[in-house]
Structure 1
Amino acid sequence: MTTEILPVLANARDLAGAAPGLRAGAVFRSDAPLAGDDAPEGLAPWPPAAVVDLRDAREFDGAHPFADSATIHAIPVLGDAVFDPSMMKRTLVDLYRDMVVGAPARAIVRAVVAIAGEPGPVLVHCTAGKDRTGVSVALTLALVGVDREAIVADYVATHANMRGVMARSRSSWSGEMPPLPEGVDLEELMREMMSAPAAAIEAVLDAWAAAGGAEAWFLAHGGTRPDVEALRERLLG
């Protein structure tokens, strides 16, 4: 049976579209690239010079499609927890709150540090470009002064792309899903995982606000002020 490889990224966009004043061609976000993908419309220059890949290694098979042309920063935000059946009992709000504490929080900070430190255009992605990417991009935008409403709007924009994301994921998935825990309804789970509700990213923004703001939270989890300055130089010019 031939595996269909879909030719275009389903959830790709330039962070410059999130708010006025951001530099185009500096940072892109997307779902996972596949070998043979066409250049996505509106993202230039392409391919990126660096990639921040937030997936666990078991979410894909083989080398990254850009391994020969870009610097790859592999930063598995959730690591083994991606495959923990207990994760299936959680809402997106719960999942996102977990990403701003402990090891996932430090990984998110490392992702933003990598974005800030690369001289060429950077692509940040996970599998869907929604959850791990969504939190990492929200932090990136918050650190350069993008307001809350625009950050939420950029995150929610992913919802319309999720059917294409799922089609691409089915064509490239390398592993097996763990069994569903008792009491988990698959249809309900899929509705939750295929959505990008404002409440999920708002929970993250609330956590940062409670910590004294995104920059204070970033510094408390391993980032530095020079990292913030580099990020602002990259995206604001």
Structure 2
Amino acid sequence: MNGLPEAAPHLANARDLADAAPGLRHGVAFRSDAPQDGDEPPAGLSPWPPATVLDLRGADEKGQPNSLAATSRVVDLDILADANLAGDAAQTSLSSLAALYSTMIEGVPASGLTRVVAEVARDEAPVLYHCSAGKDRTGVSSALILRLLGYDRDVVVADYTATAANMMGVIARIVRGLPEALTAAGGSPLSAVPREILDAPASAIESVLDAWDAHEGGTLGWYLANGGDEVTLVALRERLVA
């Protein structure tokens, strides 16, 4: 990963979900890459720190307690905990973003996404939800929230692809957080990851939207079939829609 910028002392891919679409309340739901010890407050997110943090990463990605644990209530919500990401299944899931996202929205892992909706709807705000890059689990979670609130596909795609401009900074922060033994020789496990995985192309999130649209009842039907409920949707709308 030569040519990376110096890792910033603040979140590299953070924004208020309300920036994605007109009519949403600011200061309620934030999305980002993973916070790190010593981070400065991110520009544009207020109030800060968040009252609640939804950490969507797996245990092997963390290495230490969430850096916001001293100021925020942290909810560990491993979106991919129940996905079969070992051996050949892992290679298949990481072969493309569409394959990875398909793993996320099918079977047991899908219930994790509906829980993100519930936490954003009811936990003390502001609620920050994040994974490692703030792109995949975070991006699909944002897409689900926006679609459930009735926003068009183009709004969802624009919010998702906005991450592409931040990816160099995100990767620099991820590499900084890797164990020294992995980076001492100038190498990184990221070098073996397909380039698409490190980008945010529109086609990736469109594959998710296509799957939701094809479900009986559309996105709402998918949500209800995977553990969601109408009461939570009412709470989500009352909280986020101005």
Taking the aligned partners of 2:108 and 2:80, their CA distance within structure 1 comes to 8
Rate the CA distance shift 1:175–1:132 in 2: closer, same or farther, 3 A.
farther
Matched, 1:131 2:136: yes
Aligned length: 226
The CA deviation string for residues 170-200 of structure 1, in whole angstroms up to 9 with x for no partner, is 11235999xxxxxxxx868341111111111
- Superposition TM-score, scaled by structure 2 size: 0.87
Deviates further, 113-122 or 12-21: 113-122
Q: Is the 8 A contact 1:50 1:121 kept in 2?
A: yes
Partner of 1:77, secondary structure, is coil
1:1-237 counterparts in 2 under 5 A?
6-79=8-81, 84-86=86-88, 87-89=90-92, 90-173=95-178, 189-211=193-215, 212-237=217-242
Taking the aligned partners of 2:181 and 2:207, their CA distance within structure 1 comes to 30
Taking the aligned partners of 2:161 and 2:106, their CA distance within structure 1 comes to 22
Q: Name stretches of at least 5 consecutive residues in structure 2 with no aligned partner.
A: 1-5, 183-189
The CA deviation string for residues 119-175 of structure 1, in whole angstroms up to 9 with x for no partner, is 310101000000011101100111111111010000011011111001101112359
Letter in 2 for 1:228: L
**1:68: Cα distance to partner?**
2.1
Taking the aligned partners of 1:193 and 1:21, their CA distance within structure 2 comes to 31
Partner of 2:78, secondary structure, is coil
Taking the aligned partners of 1:208 and 1:232, their CA distance within structure 2 comes to 20
Deviates further, 61-70 or 127-136: 61-70
Q: Name stretches of at least 5 consecutive residues in structure 1 with no aligned partner.
A: 178-185
Partner of 2:128, secondary structure, is strand
Percent identity (aligned): 51
Taking the aligned partners of 1:188 and 1:210, their CA distance within structure 2 comes to 33
Pairwise CA RMSD: 2.2
